[in-house]
Amino acid sequence: MSSTFSLAPKPYIRESNRKLLPPKSMLTTIRAEVITAPKQRSTRIFPELSIQGIPVADLHVQEIVQRQSKTDNTANGGTSRKPQFVPSFLEEAYERCRTICAEYAKTFYLGTLLMTEERQKAIWAIYVWCRRTDELVDGPNSGHMDSEVLDRWEERLEDIFEGRPYDMLDAALTHTVLNFPLDIKPFRDMIEGMRMDTRKCRYQNFQELYLYCYYVAGTVGLMSVPVMGIAPDSLISAQSTYDAALYLGIGNQLTNILRDVGEDTARGRVYLPQDELAQFGLSDDDVFSRKVTDQWREFMKEQITRARFYFNLAEEGASQLEKDSRWPVWSSLLIYRNILDAIEENDYDNLTKRAYVGRAKKLLMLPLAYTKSLNTHSLIL
């Protein structure tokens, strides 16, 4: 049995009541097979759940945007002291950041090479701080992790913003804070995400999971926008650009979760909404059994749909950044979309297989990402 329905490609219109609606002029009518819902659930849960994240106002993103939209470097009230770095010391600090980024984020690193030198260095410094923060929980020494370690890391972050770096890599971020209007809140929020990881291994609903995704990934987008810059002829507001950056982080983290389901079970973790598992007649036992059933496939289809929804929202802002900053963003967006494709190609088996995009395929995506980075799309707002 088949039915006709409409799919709306990005962008979405944001009305005053914050609902997201597709512009009528962009609807495409297609034919598709209707999948009969499993008996365990009475209604489809999408697209309603797709937009039920934490309101931006509750995350205080507007306050971050206001502070980071300043043209000077006083987003966080300015550092109490401005350290004078020896040029050779700074050069080595940024070179170390570059090396780490090139080793662990190869495709993203290639995308940064089109950016101005000042922006390159700043993005590398931010990447390294985020990686070091993540490794506190997921790195080789994570077994020694406790709340005191994260408390000390947050104190160290405050020292970075106050002009008192602890080591060479911290110094690169301190120098970046002096040059760009970075607010400390997204950095603090990322540390809060690490705290959440130490005390929580289940998420009852998507709202809880969304908050976690904001902390550990959405914050990266908020950190990056002041460095990447918004194009002077941007067709959307600064707030909309920041929202899009946040949504890219949400989409990336949702994709990471779907890619790593099998690996996370080895650590006793399930980053999937418990209530949605139940709606498909599934439970933690099914996840830990690592058996791919028809119910699991249907559940995964809906989770993938949601991740793509956030990538669609992210595209709205990707082409509104400064032109030389768009390539790494588009590269990330396209590669993560392909991870979702790989899960589908594996017949939704992310319990025993890890979906990945090979190096050759990543390199082939770079020209497409570059082409997209050259275009500033007209938007209906």
State how far Cα 75 lies from the chain centre. 22
User: How far is it, in rounded angstroms, from Cα 252 to Cα 217?
Assistant: 7
User: How far is it, in rounded angstroms, from Cα 159 to Cα 100?
Assistant: 22
Nearest to 43 by CA among 325, 372, 276, 231: 276
User: How far is it, in rounded angstroms, from Cα 134 to Cα 56?
Assistant: 24
Q: Is beta strand 13-14 parallel, antiparallel or unpaired with respect to 20-21?
A: antiparallel
Span 340-369, pLDDT tens digits: 999 999 999 999 999 989 988 988 888 999
Tokens of 333: 């967006």
Q: What is the pTM of this model?
A: 0.82
Residue type for position 64:
I
Q: Is beta strand 2-7 parallel, antiparallel or unpaired with respect to 28-33?
A: antiparallel
246 and 218 Cβ atoms separated by less than 8 Å: yes
Q: In this structure, is the dihedral angle defined by the CA atoms of residues 349, 352, 355 and 360, taken in order, positive or negative?
A: negative
For the chain, list the domains and their CATH numbers.
35-373 (1.10.600.10)
Tokens of 294: 């028809």
> What pLDDT is stored for residue 122 in this prediction?
97
Residue 63: CB atoms within 10 Å:
12
Span 89-105, pLDDT tens digits: 999 999 999 999 999 99
> What pLDDT is stored for residue 335 in this prediction?
93
Residue type for position 3:
S
Instruction: Band the pLDDT of 225: cuts 50, 70, 90.
Output: very high
Span 171-219, pLDDT tens digits: 999 999 999 999 999 999 999 999 999 889 999 999 999 999 999 999 9
Tokens of 215: 């902390």
